[in-house]
Structures are given as structure tokens and as C-alpha cells.
Amino acid sequence: MLSTVLQYIEEEHACPHCKQALTLCHAPPVHVGDGLGWGSEYLFICLNDECSLFANGWDHIANQYGHVGSYRHMQIPNSKEHYNMMVVGREAFTGSAVDVESLKRRNDDYQRRQEAIAALDHCVERGQLEPVLTVLLDESIKIDDRKKAAQLLVPLNDIACIEPIRNHTFRDGHLEQEVNLAINALLAAHFLKECPYCTELIKARANVCKHCQRQLND
């Protein structure tokens, strides 16, 4: 669905009455004319209040039908179908415009996640921690992909992963456990430990933390 509407964003439609670009809008649930659906969740609509169709429509409808209303020009995306749609108020459809910027942002986020997931296959050989952290720390990504990322922490052998992981709250207890085991293995491999008081990384055999100067028992 997101991909469909993103295609529509790229489409350019101009109003034949005022030549202005049409705005991509969410379709109203029902076809006002015949009670059927539009066959599309989205419509391109001329929201220009100066549009001759809209500006002259009030008089036309008052004279013709004796009630208040006008027309807005409308085109169905990905099709040649277009209509002059009757509207009863000035504000008709103005609130239904698709938020293109937020849609693009959502799509960019989606692409970024997909790229990170795909990069997991090569990140160990390339020494890339970034995609592993992107996938591991994104709660909206499938748990299987995140577990796959967790399993790469030890082979990657990069202690830079510890700080961002410690700053993250995992909703999945199993994943958190896996990640903790990986961090323990990394610390051991680097002869390091986390200070129990200030959480800074220090030498495994230190008796005093060089960061907070606290005495360590072990």
C-alpha cells in the first residue's frame, strides 16, 4: 500500500480548468454519485479555490439545482478517469490531502531498515558495526532479523557496540539475554569489564576504577 501511494506521488496531474497541479488526497469512503467505491484509495483533486470550475460552480449549481454547492476537478490515479465532483462546502477535501513529507520519511525509514537487514550478510567480512546496531536496536524490526544481528556481535568483535546497546531497552527478554552474553564474551576477549558503579569499561584485573575511583572487590 505504501509503495502504491509512493508511485502516485511521482505522478503529475494538472487541472484542465486552472492548469494548477492537483493534490493527492485520501478518497472519501463512498462515491457520492452512484454509491460505489472509487476503485482507488487516493484521488488527485484540484484544491485551488481560484479554479474557474470551483469559483463559477456556486452560481451554476444555485441556478441549475437551487442549492448550495460547487465542483472540484478530480482524477483517479494511474488512470484517465476524471470527474467534476460536486462539493457542498469550500473546505471539502482540503483536510484530506496526503501528507507527502511524512509518507516519504516513512518510506526512507523503511528503505534504511531493509538496507541494514540486507547488509547483515556481509558486515562481518567488511567490519561494519553500523547495520548490526541499526537492526538490533530497532524494536520495529522482525525478531528473527534482530537475533541474526545479535549473533554477529561476537564475530564482529567491536566493543564500540557496548555503549549503544547499554543505552537501549530491549522489549524481548530472550534477545536481551543473548546480547548480554555477547557483550560478556566481547569483554572477556578484550580483557575488559564494566565498572559496576559507573559502567565505564576498565581492565578486567583493575582493583580501582580509573573513572570513578571506586574500590572494586573482584
Our finding on whether 201 is near Zn ion (CB under 5 A) is no
Q: Which of 197, 203, 204, 206 binds Zn ion (CB under 5 A)?
A: 197
Q: What's the rounded Cα separation, in Å, for the pair 70 and 27?
A: 18
Q: Which of 8, 13, 15, 170 binds Zn ion (CB under 5 A)?
A: 15
Span of 60-68, 142-150, 166-174, 206-214 interacting with Zn ion by CB under 5 A: 206-214
Q: What's the rounded Cα separation, in Å, for the pair 33 and 54?
A: 18
Question: Residues 6 or more apart from 53 whose CB is under 8 A from it?
Answer: 15, 17, 18, 46, 70, 71, 72, 73, 84
Return the residues of window 36-65 that contact Zn ion according to CB under 5 A. Answer: 46, 48, 51
Q: What's the rounded Cα separation, in Å, for the pair 148 and 35?
A: 50
69 grid coordinates: 454547492
67 grid coordinates: 442549492
Our finding on whether 198 is near Zn ion (CB under 5 A) is yes
Our finding on whether 165 is near Zn ion (CB under 5 A) is no
Span of 63-71, 107-115, 176-184, 189-197 interacting with Zn ion by CB under 5 A: 189-197
Can you give the binding site for Zn ion, defined by CB under 5 A?
Answer: 15, 17-18, 46, 48, 51, 195, 197-198, 209, 211-212
